[in-house]
Amino acid sequence: MSYNYNANPGIVGVVPAGGSIISPGPNYDPTAQVNNTNAPGIAFLWIAFGFMVFSAGAFFISAIRSRTEKIRKFSVVNVIICSIAATAYMSMAFQQGYVRKENGRQFYYARYIDWVFTTPLLLFELASLAGAGTTLTALIIVLDVIMIITGLFGGLSVRRGPTWVWFGMGCLAFLPIFYLIAIHYRKFLNDHTKRAYTVQSFWLIGLWLIYPIAWGLTDGGYIISVDYQHLWFAILDVLAKCVFGAFTVFLFRSALPYSEGYIADTIPDAPNHPEIFHNDREIAAIALPASAYGGSKMGRKASTNKPPGVSPASNSKPMAV
């Protein structure tokens, strides 16, 4: 089934119901300055690329220097996030990864390819810090991927109706994400992760709320020029990736060993032995009595399962990292 463009002012011709065919309308002007990336836009893109490469390098060094598996994991996640973003920024700076909309405006789908991989990793990072567990982490990731894909389809839509319906659908997916981060995940926090999570979750929500607004003014509503679109998204992306990651990995480094639902409290001295304990699952497997797994008779006895090198001292000083 197809619709007449005349129902949509400014567009002539025929498009399918979803309106996702990118075809020239009467206002098609691929030469207009506002529809294109000019010298300033290219500069913004390369600067953002530089931030991403630099940050990926810093997180890589952090990963190499990590003494515990958890810190290593957070560092590596950030290496991946910044490397993917660097790739996307390079493609955009080289004027690739875009299509032209019905009015001739560049639409950079490369941005969405970046986000569909990096935003789940950012949420994975926050969910891990909270100790949210596999199921609720999977849920937030799926909702997030749906949110980004709605932005992509909204941006690809020629007809205004589908554009904003997609946008509404994306906002709908954002609501439970918001709820999980702001309220539900907090239930899993422990004394060591509370401060780090509180700062990081506020920071993430505050920044992420700006994205749909920026989208409405750029890929959705064509109000801001393509050059300024690059500037605003570059600022947001550097804050949401490089600065957010630096806070997690450097500022809150000492909280990370207590992430992922810290259960090593069963051996109070364990955090002082990062050289032995790579993560608290290993500690749990060695240390917890069988009853902790539901009372199976096949479990180890609590009294005989002290791992080597761990004193029974009951101090629980934060781990040196």
Residues at the site binding ligand RET, with contacts judged by CB under 6 A: 115, 118-119, 147-148, 150-151, 154, 167, 170-171, 174, 208, 211-212, 215, 237, 240-241
Strands 2-4 and 106-108: unpaired
Q: For residues 234 and 288, which CB has a smaller minimum distance to ligand RET in the complex?
A: 234
Distance CA 174, CA 196 (A): 23
- In angstroms, the Cα distances linking 162 to 156, 231, 252 are 10, 27, 42
Q: Report the run of H or E that residue 2 belongs to, with start and end.
A: strand 2-4
Query: Shortest gap between Cβ of 168 and ligand RET (angstroms)?
Result: 8
Amino acid at 206: G
Please say which residue, 115 or 185, places its beta carbon nearer to ligand RET: 115
Rounded to the nearest whole angstrom, what is the least distance from the CB of residue 87 to ligand RET in the complex? 13
CB of 261 to ligand RET, least distance (A): 25
| CA-to-CA dists, residue 248 to 47, 49, 134, 321, angstroms | 23, 21, 20, 13
5 or 208: CB nearest ligand RET: 208
Q: How far apart are CA 143 and CA 172, in angstroms?
A: 9
Of the pair 118, 157, the CB lying nearest ligand RET is at 118
For ligand RET, the closer of residues 123 and 256 by Cβ is 123
Smallest gap from residue 81 Cβ to ligand RET (A): 8
What DSSP line would sit under 207-233, residue for residue?
HHHHHHHHHIIIIIT--S-HHHHHHHH
Task: Provide, rounded to whole angstroms, the least separation between the CB of residue 69 and ligand RET.
Answer: 25
